[in-house]
Amino acid sequence: MSIENKILKIKKDLEYFDDELEKYEYIIDLGKKLDTFDESYKISKNLVHGCTSQVWLLCQYKNGKLIFIGNSDAIIVRGLVYIILDIFSNNTIQDLLDIDVDVLDELNLSEIITPNRQSGVIGMIRKIKEFSLKYYLKDKE
């Protein structure tokens, strides 16, 4: 599924809820779906800058695609991590480099999360782009 289609799916899911509190609770529930995150990954090298809470993000290259894993120490942020991983994980390097989308705007997340949380989402996406560029340059060597 393309990044754009993943965004549309999540947007549709969020639009199902009428009020902000229901959306907020839904995002928290999404965070409960995150895969187990090994404590050894919780190191400064894996921290996402710009987040109020601690967010760890790692990248693996498998079968021509980048796979992202991550977690946070805050329950709402775990849900946001889940959303970002769901959208961007399992895509090619080129797809990730080519995408230019404002996820916060597309999903109307700015309506329900604080500016500090929004900054964290932007930080996660920036780190994903950095990983993509790193693997792109590694492929060119």
- Whether 113 contacts 76, CB under 8 Å: yes
Number of Cβ atoms within 10 Å of the Cβ of 74: 18
- Domains of the chain (ranges, CATH numbers): 3-140 (3.90.1010.10)
Question: Cα–chain-centroid distance for residue 93?
Answer: 16
3-class state of residue 105 by DSSP: helix
Q: Which pLDDT tens digit goes with each residue over 45-87? A: 999 988 789 999 999 999 889 999 999 999 999 999 999 999 9
Claim: this prediction has a pTM higher than 0.85: yes
Question: Considering only CA atoms, which of 102, 44, 40, 48 is closest in space to residue 72?
Answer: 48
- Whether 108 contacts 14, CB under 8 Å: yes
Number of Cβ atoms within 10 Å of the Cβ of 135: 19
Q: How confident is the model at residue 141 (pLDDT cuts 50, 70, 90)?
A: low
Residues annotated as catalytic (active site), given as ranges: 51
Q: Which pLDDT tens digit goes with each residue over 2-58? A: 899 999 999 999 999 988 889 999 999 999 999 889 999 999 999 998 878 999 999
